[in-house]
Chain A
Amino acid sequence: MILGVTFTEDAVIGLLVAAVQFGTLLYLAALGETISEKAGVLNLGVEGMMATGAAVGFIAGVETGSPWIGLIAGSAAGMLLSMLHAFTSVGLGADQVVSGLALTFLGLGFADFIGDGYTDDERRARFADVEIPGLDDIPYVGEILFRHSPVTYLAVISGIAAWFILNRTAAGLGLRAVGETASTADAAGHSVLRLRFVAVGIGGAFAGASGAYLTTYLVGSWSQNLTAGRGWIAIALVIFGAWRPGRVAIGALLFGFTLALKSRLVIFEIDFSPRLLDMAPYLLTIIVLVLISYRARNRPSPAPAAIGIPYRREER
């Protein structure tokens, strides 16, 4: 017993399992945003793309009875929405902050609009947990890491693939170059517009998938304001992870833990207003960002240099 709280073995394991589940949610969105920002496009529409992904994912899932179709449809919806942001901010060179925020608005509104009749829907299309043979029997570790929905494993694979593509392939080099100095990348023969469109689209697909994961696994049902600001945490995670897929994953687990903690309070019989603990992930985000910036104040920023700057060849 610590501080009057009883920590049973099951409760602690349950908490860590939930941390990985919430971490998956955050990681999918944050990984997508990392790729978009690596190409120099800040997309503040994550929350909206997530919400639309969640609504579309739920509808497609329950109508077809397949969570896989839900996940794919949600992801496609996120990608479609992100194309609007790409068109205005990359194609027309509009301010990325304004365009991204409008996208959040649009995504939240669209999700509520199409989800209107599905709020009390009892149907479910949920992923089942998949145990990784041979690994799921490891004491504790197996239970915490190797008994998850397929989406969690996909997120891990995506993270490794993103790291590999960004750092070890010509396409990834081009994408990063476009996000650092677009004119140089252009001169070197990379199509700035095409690479940025692709990066924003991948970002949208991941954000949509993250939302669909909410409705096809984590929560399982659709309701208004389901995303509850987690899209914004995902954007903060990109800064936390210094635009590196690996570090972003660590951040996602850490923040996933704080989100899980809140949902598990009851189990620990903690006599503490969950509303106040509810604030923790958001306050933690601020504290962590301040600490990171403070530590890095005399070093060059790890942010892609061209972030937020539209590119027009004739004006370089």
Chain B
Amino acid sequence: MKKLVLVRRETPTRGGQPAAFLAGLIFALLVGALLLLVTGDPVLDVYERMWERSLGSTDTWSSTFNRAIPLALAGLAVSIAATMGLWNIGAEGQILFGATAATLVGRIFPDAPGPVLIILMLLAAAVGGALWALGPGLARAEIGVSEIITTLMLTEVAIRLITYLEQGPWKDPEGFGFPNVTARPEQAELGDLWDRTHIGVLIALAVIAGFAWFLNRSVWGYELRIAGSSAKTATYAGISMRRKVLGVMLLSGAVAGFAGGIELTGTAVRLNTQISNGYGFAGIIVAALALMRPSGVPFVALAFGAVQVGGQSIQTSLGVSPAVATILQALILFGAIGAAVFSNYRVQAVERQVVAT
């Protein structure tokens, strides 16, 4: 009698993660097809439409690229925190508060020239995001409170803060009574590169490249990698774990908040609770699929942008719930997790009597 066991490979297979991602995508599409079949939706039409409206035609590339920007920045934010083994699950809240801080700057300098205002708003967004991560960072660094819960709770707080601003202090006096925040100054809009693809694409890529360089080449990044892999070694080498934990949380928050600023100046007209649109949460999946490496983040973000944009299109044209996109994103991750096991392990049949030791 034989049984199958997983045996660790001495070195992981080359190109394992892209392959795992592809496997995850196929798995997601298959399970998704099954779901659609059960509910009686036209599977091929749905997938065809999703492809057409995201990457399949040049007309819609802009939507996909614009969508990939906040996803990539959120993914970067999560992967920065992960260098120290931290989980910034609340990037969503930092995006929201970043956008709130940027809105505040827009309210203070409504008549500043566009470029100046944009730079100020983006800086404010980064500072706002860092501020929103400050509490969780301090609590984690000083007394070891799980950053998972605290960052998440602050996301809920940020949502309610914006709802409060919408209904009270920042309510648009010319909004016909609707609870909307006054629109940001018109001149604070990022220019388009081509079509509707805004310049945020370049900014995001630059930020990601900057961090990739920073993590791999700078002394601080080197210390980070040591501290992230072994607290003992780090302490021995005189690296302060507390300062690293706090620093990484602040940076992570700043990048997430920056994403909020990019959204406000790029695609959104005004601050609202939908401006983060789940990017913070999707960013965690993006980062996980990129194995927490900044270099992989843009590619996964682009793929997720396509799934999300495609998912929106099926509701209007085919009447299929856009939740299909959410399901697909989760399934890609599950499929990839399953597939990734095989880049680190191989399946071996062993005799039942021979117990592996």
Contact = CB atoms under 8 A, between A and B. Distances in A.
Interface of A: 44, 84, 88, 92-95, 97-99, 101-106, 108-114, 116, 229, 232-233, 235-236, 239, 273, 275-276, 278-279, 282-283, 285-286, 289-290, 293-294, 297, 312-315
Interface string B36-49: 00010000000000
Nearest to B139: A290
Contact of B35 (A93, A104, A113, A236): A113
A105 B164 contact: no
A239 B281 contact: no
A112 B149 contact: no
Contacts of B161: 279
Contacts of B6: 312
A108 B160 contact: no
B327 A278 contact: no
Given A44-B89, A290-B150, 14 more contacts: A102-B333, A102-B337, A106-B327, A109-B325, A109-B326, A232-B152, A232-B156, A236-B149, A282-B157, A290-B145, A293-B139, A294-B143, A297-B143, A314-B7
B326 A297 contact: no
B321 interface: yes
Interface in B171-208: none
Interface hub of B156, B164, B285, B356 (most chain A Cβ within 10 A) = B156
Interface string B1-31: 0000111100000000000000000000000
Contacts of A104: 281
Contact of B281 (A103, A105, A273): A105
Nearest to A289: B145
Contact of A290 (B143, B148, B288, B333): B143
B130 to A, nearest CB: 17
24 contacts: A92-B341, A93-B341, A98-B285, A99-B337, A101-B284, A103-B330, A105-B285, A106-B330, A109-B326, A109-B329, A110-B327, A111-B323, A113-B39, A113-B327, A116-B321, A232-B149, A232-B152, A275-B160, A276-B164, A283-B153, A285-B149, A286-B154, A289-B146, A293-B145
B143 A286 contact: no
A246 to B, nearest CB: 21
A94 to B, nearest CB: 4
Contact of A108 (B326, B338, B357): B326
B357 A276 contact: no
Nearest to B284: A101
Minimum-distance CB pairs A-B, first 3 = A109-B326, A112-B323, A106-B330
B167 interface: yes
Q: Which of A88, A94, A116, A282 has the most CB of B within 10 A?
A: A282
A313 B143 CA distance: 33
B110 interface: no
Contacts of A109: 323-327, 329-330
Contacts of A283: 153, 157
Contacts of B168: 273, 275
B87 interface: yes
Most buried by A among B39, B145, B330: B330
B337 A94 contact: yes
Q: Counting chain A CB atoms within 10 Å of each CB, which of B89, B155, B160, B341 scores highest?
A: B160
What does DSSP make chain B's interface, helix, strand, loop or mixed?
helix
B56 interface: no
B114 interface: no
Nearest to B90: A232
A293 B144 contact: yes
A98 B288 contact: yes
Given A232-B153, A282-B153, A88 B143 contact: no
B153 to A, nearest CB: 4
B135 interface: yes
A88 B337 CA distance: 7
A94 B263 CA distance: 33
A239 to B, nearest CB: 7
B211 to A, nearest CB: 20
B162 to A, nearest CB: 9
B284 A112 contact: no
B51 interface: no
Contacts of B163: 275, 278
Given A113-B35, A282-B157, A92 B337 contact: yes
B299 interface: no
A313 B39 CA distance: 42
Contacts of B323: 108-113, 116
Contacts of A286: 135, 139, 149-150, 153-154
B331 interface: yes
A266 to B, nearest CB: 16
B159 to A, nearest CB: 8
B321 A235 contact: no
Contacts of B330: 102-103, 105-106, 109
Given A102-B334, A290-B139, A236 B153 contact: yes
A99 to B, nearest CB: 6
Nearest to B315: A116
Contacts of A290: 139, 143, 145, 150
Interface in B128-148: 135, 139, 143-146, 148
Contact of A101 (B143, B146, B281): B281
Contact of B356 (A108, A276, A314): A314
Contact of B338 (A92, A111, A233, A235): A92
Nearest to A275: B164
A109 to B, nearest CB: 3
Contacts of A239: 146, 149
